Amino acid sequence: MANTYLRQTPLAHLHLDARAANEAADATTGVHIGERLLLGMINLRGQRSNPDFGPAVKKVVGAALPGVNETSGKPEGVHVLGLGPDEWLIITPTGEEADIHANLERVVGEFHTAVTLTGESMTVIRLAGAHARDTLAKGCPMDMHPRVFGPGQCAQTILARADMTMHQTADDAYDIIVRRSFAEYVWTWLEDAAREYGVRVITGLR
Amino acid sequence: MLLIPCPYCGEREESEFHQGGEAHIERPKDPYKLTDEEWADYLFFRDNRKGVYLERWVHRHGCRRWFNVARDTATNQIVAVYKMGSKPPKSITSRGTMK
């Protein structure tokens, strides 16, 4: 049995709860920014060409394996991001990752696969609001116009020189998945970039 | 800035990629049979041609996959993109740009 420890998000020291309580959003707020706390993440590698692989994963995860840069499942529940032709990121609500990881290992163990828990190394920043896209576009080299990038799509790219995985969860909402060590940098960059649109911190995101 | 069509992710900006040198350079089957000159040729000497050049690129900040790009070194135009392990399209080889 592993020792328990105080699990903290990489942005805990910014005291976002206190800031959210003191700064209420109003009609002029163009960007809402918050951290989705301690989500579980599982990196899955496997061969899609094997016809039994996809269905086996779906049985455990509850969502089909999406294509590259596509997603499946609901953003608030267990969902899967297609990172590459043979790589997926499974994101789960807090605490659900261990069971899914164990079940996945059991079910796909017979295939040529790798199943790795990676949640502790990442965090998810939620950016929402009418100007969320404008804010991201300032530091991202990707074309984010709705004609090429829309809800349900994801992409691995760069935000202000930091690697990120971006998942558009709704018309005006994005989940930004960044490394733990980049979290504070990306957060402060985003807040600065969103300042001209009016930015407010939101908490309680799961 | 180049727009490079990753075979998996589609068109992305050059800053997401990294160039990996000339493509299709095969390691000699038996290096001990080579003269020093032949070995140096394999290790260090590249074509560096003006015109269509076959290169390896990696989508480093994206899907992290390697692939091949046929790029004109004079104009920077990308003529073709094809996956690792496959041969360059015939349209390029027929133009006499291969070794």
Sketch the domain layout of chain A as residue ranges. Answer: 13-19+27-36+121-201, 40-119
Q: b/e per residue, A45-66, with b = 16+ CB within 10 A?
A: ebeeeeeebeebbeebbebebb
Left if phi > 0, otherwise alpha if psi is -120 to 50, otherwise beta: which for B15? alpha
Top residue of A142, A148, A159, A166 to mutate, by most chain B CBs within 10 Å, is A142
- Predicted local confidence at residue B97, as pLDDT: 52
Strand partners, B78: B71
Q: Return the amino acid letter for A86.
A: D
> What value of ipTM does the predicted structure carry?
0.86
With contact defined as beta carbons under 8 Å apart, do B80 and B88 qualify? yes
Q: Supply φ then ψ for residue A32, to 5 degrees.
A: -105, 130
Q: Which two tokens stand for residue A31?
A: 């960007």
Per-residue pLDDT reduced to its tens digit, A55-64 = 999 999 999 9
Measured between alpha carbons, how far is A61 from A96 in angstroms, rounded to an integer? 11
To probe the interface with A, which of B58, B61, B65, B66 has the most A CB atoms within 10 Å? B61
Nearest CB partner across the interface for B63, out of A84, A141, A163? A84
Per-residue pLDDT band at A110 (split at 50, 70, 90): confident
| Closest chain A residue to the Cα of B61, Cα to Cα | A157
Q: Say which residue the tokens 């990038």 belong to.
A: A149
pLDDT in tens, A152-198: 999 999 999 999 999 999 999 999 999 999 999 999 999 999 999 99
Q: Give tens-digit pLDDT for B21-43.
A: 999 999 999 999 999 999 999 99
pLDDT band at A205 (very low <50, low <70, confident <90, very high): confident
- Domain B3-93 carries which CATH code? 3.30.2270.10
CB distance from B5 to chain A under 8 Å? no
CB pairs under 8 A between A and B: 37
3-state secondary structure of A53: helix
> Rounded to an integer, what is the distance from CA A86 to the centroid of its chain?
19
CB atoms near residue A143 (< 10 Å): 14
SS3 A109: coil
A40-119 to CATH, choices 1.10.490.10, 1.10.1060.10, 3.30.70.1110, 3.30.70.1520: 3.30.70.1520
The answer to whether residue B99 scores a pLDDT higher than 50 is: no
Residues 66-85 of B with CB under 8 A from A: none
Please give the residue of chain B at the shortest CA–CA distance from A89: B63
Contacts of B9 in chain A (CB under 8 A): 68-69, 155-156
* Choices 3.40.50.2000, 3.30.1360.120, 3.65.10.10, 3.40.605.10: CATH for A13-19+27-36+121-201: 3.30.1360.120
Shortest distance between the Cα of B60 and any Cα of chain A, in A, equals 9
- Provide the β-strand partners of residue A87: A45, A84
A155·B9 Cβ contact <8 A: yes
pLDDT tens by residue, A121-140 = 999 999 999 999 999 999 99
The span from the CA of A86 to the CA of B81, in Å, is: 19
The fraction of chain B above a pLDDT of 70, given in percent, is 93
Beta strands of chain B (E only): which ranges?
A: 3-6, 10-13, 18-22, 52-58, 66-72, 78-83
B17 to chain A, closest Cα gap in Å: 10
Chain B contact set for A141 (CB, 8 A): 1, 12-13, 15-16
Nearest residue of chain B to residue A82 (CA atoms): B63
Distance from CA of A92 to the nearest CA of B (A): 21
